[in-house]
Structure 1
Amino acid sequence: MELLKITFWVLFFIVFYTYIGYGLVLYVLVRIKRLFVGKTSAGADPSYEPEVTLLIPAYNERDYIDQKIKNSMAQDYPADKLKICFVTDGSDDGTPELARQYPGVAVYHSPKRKGKINAMNRVMPLVESPIVIFSDANTLLGEQSIRRIVNRFTDATVGCVSGEKRIISKEKDTAAGAGEGLYWKYESTLKKWDAELNSVVGAAGELFAIRTELYQEVEPDTILDDFIISLRVAQQGYTIQYDPKAFAIETASANVQEELKRKIRISAGGIQSVVRLRTLLNIFKYKTLSFQYISHRVLRWTLTPLCLILMIPVLSRIALDEGLLSNSLYTVLFWGQLMFYLGALVGLILENRSLRIKVLFVPYYFLMMNYSVVMGFSRYLSANQSVNWERAQRAA
């Protein structure tokens, strides 16, 4: 029984550290750093206006092209220094034809669909601007987003800058909208602290930028291209910075099934990324970056979901031995665990209902995320995740 108790606390520590503990440690480290070097600030040179390319991969995005181009052209950045470029490999719904109707918009089209990263690899050698900004076709950027991202590159140590992904939040949301929105708010906080301590560990594909010269051609079967591209910049000795005021807005997934589909793909890509970026696990070489990478990403995609599963039989066995009606710590934790899973069941029942009390969906969304990791791992092992991605349906 003592061995079971030790096992439980090891499992509990890993889960707690992954989702709460790392945030607490990160906050303390950032506060300590501020005592010695002060709070870091974003670049603030308004005269820094290099040429930039806004590169937008698009597959059958005709419904979004008009608003995306108009939104891009409305950016607070000199029009003669902003090149808008669409890559539309495989699109057959009129996306490239519609984009070409706008003067000054470059369209690189290939009739054969080989996946997003193949399209990016094909076009990146043609980019001549010193900075390239990647953005999705179905997201809208804040008016200052490009200017704010570009300004971060006034620091020569910065090789990549990530913007913030914002989910349109409604007063009443379903499980998908509420869970996704809360998740990204928490992620944004962690990213701000990660960046202040050292470097963000991965950029969001909705909006991020790199120094063009640092781009490394990515394997054609890569699932999380944004993650791989940004961290390979970090591997070259540069930092990934984060500006939450440079943001991309999109609606939440239409429902939990659509969000689960997206999460499973991300999880399969996460396992793939851990394998391909395995040198980043060398904490002696990459030091703080390795610590952040393992704490913020690797544990979520590998060990922690397994720990959550194992905690159920381990804690149940201990609680039965202690007595289910006793007041021992393990019994209290057992009932707390049971209530959490019952809360997830309530979320399942209410998943497609719009509610004001969004916290009701937190247990359900949390378990769905970890279930997606298990499914993603299975999909990675079976090589059953296509690089060609059908965009998840979004809420109206």
Structure 2
Amino acid sequence: MLHYLLFLCLGILAYTYAGYGILITVLAKIRSLLKPARSVIDGNTYTPQVTLLIRAHNKMTCLPAKLQNLYSLNYPADKLSFLFMTEGSTDGSTDWLESLRDDGAQQIMVQGGSKQGGNIPSVNRAMKYVTSPIVIFCDATTQLNSLAIRNLARHFQDERIGAAVGEKRIGNYLHEPAGVWGERLYGTYESYLNRQDAQFHTVVGATSGLLAIRTALYEPVQADTLLDDFLISMRIAGKGYRVTYEPDAYTLERPPFSIEEEQKRTVSIATGRFQSVIRLRHLVNIACYGWLSFQFISRRVLCWAVAPFCLPIIWLINLVLIFPGKSQTSLPLFWVISFVIQCVFYGLAYTGYRLQQKGRRIKALQLPLYITFINVCAIQGFVHFWRDKTSGIWKKTRRSNDIELQTS
């Protein structure tokens, strides 16, 4: 019986991390041959009114650079407005932005207030003031590429598109702090899967921090929601609209300051993933949602809520199997070898973690460290979710603002 459970866990891991990627690539290719995608209109000729909804609670240190970035965007100024959410800020963010508006910066709108009720209530209130047909969600800590708005907005010429997802990139720094390896490695594979998902049917939710939607499709989400972009985009997909992917619209952000900061952020994300899977559980009904259910189960349910537990289960079962039964006179060699391999793997991961804490990185240790790190954080996230520690207020992660960007 234990053998079957072990091989089941191995099968889930293989499908989650490799099998689905291969399968969706084949399905996307078949679909493109049978039903070519509709061509996307040039962003130079289709420029609807757009509002950028910017999360900016206590982000005064980021706002000057953010505004400089926003004003440099390649999009008609008369069709672009910026709505900053600064509720509860105590660092002067609200006053500074309002002073700019008083000085004639008509593109700027500010949703202030002395009390921070959480990210989601702030978003729900801000959406009441959005009058443009398209709204884009982003953070004050990120920088957008020049053509990001054009490249996102052009997709909405297609009436089947309900949302468009951009990409997140981590900047190159002269002295990169710990944690960058994880985000870059995961982001590369995530981007590839997004591209294949979109070509086949739909992107399975926004996870990049850059999301554009049709304003009319927005529905207020629960106040304690952690992954609001993901939940918003998946609900739109559940209505029958497609969520497409735009790799040429991306955010550039600084990496976490340390591996401890990366761990705090990753655990918060993992908590939100379990929360999202539960709240979107109706999407597993293949009879109602068809291909969306297949993608949601494969890409999110298995990857986020099942696979993280497979590694410790495999280790524990293997530990039991190395002990001989009453009729055996020697240890089963296969299980001994596999157990030793796992122990060496986790030993390398722990060594890499300790070196990261001291500011040292060895490339050979990055893969075992990354795989172990994200799964440990996922289990910690499950514990947080199970204990109902979600407050709806995202824990701030310290990022490397004091490290110079490498331009070459």
Q: Could you state the TM-score of these two structures normalised by the residue count of structure 1?
A: 0.93
What per-residue deviation string (whole Å, max 9, x for no partner) do you get for residues 118-145 of structure 1?
1111110111100001110000000000
What whole-Å deviation, never above 9, does each CA across 1:318-358 have from its counterpart, x for those lacking one? Answer: 344496684x4x44433332232122122112214566754
Shift of 1:61: 0.2
Match of 2:216 among 206, 213, 216: 213
Aligned to 1:351: 356
Match of 1:377 among 376, 382, 386: 382
Question: CA contact under 8 A between 2:66 and 2:143: conserved in structure 1?
Answer: yes
Q: Is the 8 A contact 2:43 2:151 kept in 1?
A: no
Contact 2:179-2:262 within 8 A present in 1 as well:
yes
Q: Deviations over 1:273-309 (max 9, x none)?
A: 1121111111111111111111111122322122211
* Equivalent position of 2:277 in the other structure: 274
What aligned pairs does 1:290-301 form with structure 2 within 5 A after superposition?
290-301=293-304
- Residue 32 of structure 1 and its aligned partner are, at CA, apart by 2.0
Counterpart position of 1:248:
251
**Partner of 2:61: helix, strand, or coil?**
helix
Alpha-carbon distance in 1 for matches of 2:21, 2:365: 22
What letter matches 1:139 in structure 2?
T
Mean Cα deviation higher: 9-18 or 208-217: 9-18
Structure 1 partner of 2:406? none
Q: For structure 2, which runs of at least 5 residues remain unmatched after alignment?
A: 404-408
- Structure 1 residue identity aligned to 2:11: F
Conservation of the 8 A alpha-carbon contact between 2:265 and 2:395: no
1:96 equivalent in structure 2: 94
Map 1:291-370 onto structure 2 (within 5 A).
291-321=294-324, 326=333, 328=334, 330-352=335-357, 358=363, 360-370=365-375
Change (3 A) 1:22 1:93: same
> Which residue in 1 is equivalent to 2:69?
71
1:106 counterpart letter in structure 2: M
Contact conserved, 1:118 with 1:220, CA < 8 A, in 2? yes
Residue identity opposite 2:91 in structure 1: D
Residue 45 of structure 1: CA displacement?
5.2
One of 188, 192, 203 as aligned partner of 1:185: 188
Which is further off, 79-88 or 345-354?
345-354
Task: Please say if residues 224 and 270 of structure 1, whose CA atoms lie closer than 8 Å, have aligned partners that are also in contact.
Answer: yes
* 103, 106, 109: which one aligns with 2:112: 109
| Alignment coverage as a number of residue pairs | 392
Give 1:95 shift.
0.6
Q: Give the aligned residue type for 2:378.
A: V
Question: Which residue number corresponds to residue 45 of structure 2?
Answer: 47
Which of 140, 143, 146 is 1:137 aligned to? 140
Distance 2:224 2:264 in 1: 18
Q: Deviations over 1:135-165 (max 9, x none)?
A: 1000000000000000111111110111100
Counterpart CA distance in 2 for 1:29 and 1:354 is 43
> How many angstroms does 1:43 deviate by?
3.7
Which deviates the most, 31-40 or 282-291?
31-40
1:163 touches 1:245 (CA, 8 Å); kept in 2?
yes
1:41 Cα deviation after fit: 5.3
For residue 17 of structure 1, what is the aligned residue in structure 2?
A: 15
User: Partner amino acid for 1:23?
Assistant: G
- Partner SS, residue 168 of structure 2: strand
Instruction: Tell me: CA distance 1:268–1:356, structure 2 relative to 1, closer, same or farther (3 Å).
Output: closer
Query: Identity over the aligned pairs, expressed in percent?
Result: 39
Q: Structure 2 vs 1, CA of residues 303 and 194 (structure 1 numbering), >3 Å: closer, same or farther?
A: same
Residue 361 to residue 123, structure 1, CA distance change in 2 (3 Å): same
Contact 1:173 1:353 in 2 (8 A): no
Indicate conservation of the 8 Å contact 2:178/2:257, yes or no: no
Q: Are the counterparts in 2 of residues 71 and 140 from structure 1 also a CA contact under 8 Å?
A: yes
Which of residues 203, 206, 213 is equivalent to 2:206?
A: 203
8 Å Cα contact 1:162/1:208 also seen in 2: yes
Of the three residues 110, 113, 121, the one matched with 1:118 is: 121
Residues 37-46 or 223-232, more deviating: 37-46
Instruction: Specify the alignment match of 1:35 in structure 2.
Output: 33
**Superposed displacement of residue 206, structure 1:** 2.2
Q: Does 61-70 or 3-12 show the bigger shift?
A: 3-12
| Cα distance change of structure 1 residues 37 and 333 upon mapping to structure 2, 3 Å threshold | farther
Question: Any gaps of 5 or more consecutive residues in structure 1?
Answer: none
- Work out the CA distance in 1 between the residues paired with 2:373 and 2:365: 14
Q: Deviations over 1:11-65 (max 9, x none)?
A: 1001121122211211121222233234665443531111000110211000011
The CA distance in 1 between the partners of 2:213 and 2:149, in whole Å, is 12
Quote the Cα distance in structure 2 between the aligned partners of 1:200 and 1:331.
42
Letter in 2 for 1:350: L
Q: Secondary structure, in 3 states, of the residue corresponding to 2:146? A: coil
CA contact (8 A) 1:267 1:372 kept: yes
Residue in structure 1 matched with residue 229 of structure 2 by the alignment? 226
Q: Distance in 1 between matches of 2:38 and 2:345?
A: 39
SS in structure 2 of the partner of residue 62 of structure 1: coil
Whole-angstrom CA distance in 2 between matches of 1:370 and 1:212 = 36
Q: Verify the 8 A CA contact 1:271 1:302 in the aligned structure 2.
A: yes
Residues 132 and 215 in structure 2, CA contact (< 8 A), matched pair in contact too: yes
- How many Å apart are 1:101 and its aligned residue? 3.3
> Partner residue of 1:239?
242
Q: Tell me if the contact between 2:48 and 2:79 (Cα under 8 Å) persists in the aligned partners.
A: yes
Deviation at 1:219, TM superposition (A): 1.0
Match of 2:398 in 1: 393
Partner of 2:356: helix, strand, or coil?
coil
Secondary structure of the corresponding residue to residue 179 of structure 2:
helix
Q: Determine if contact 1:166/1:250 at 8 Å carries over to the other structure.
A: yes
The 1:283/1:138 distance shift into structure 2, 3 A limit, reads same
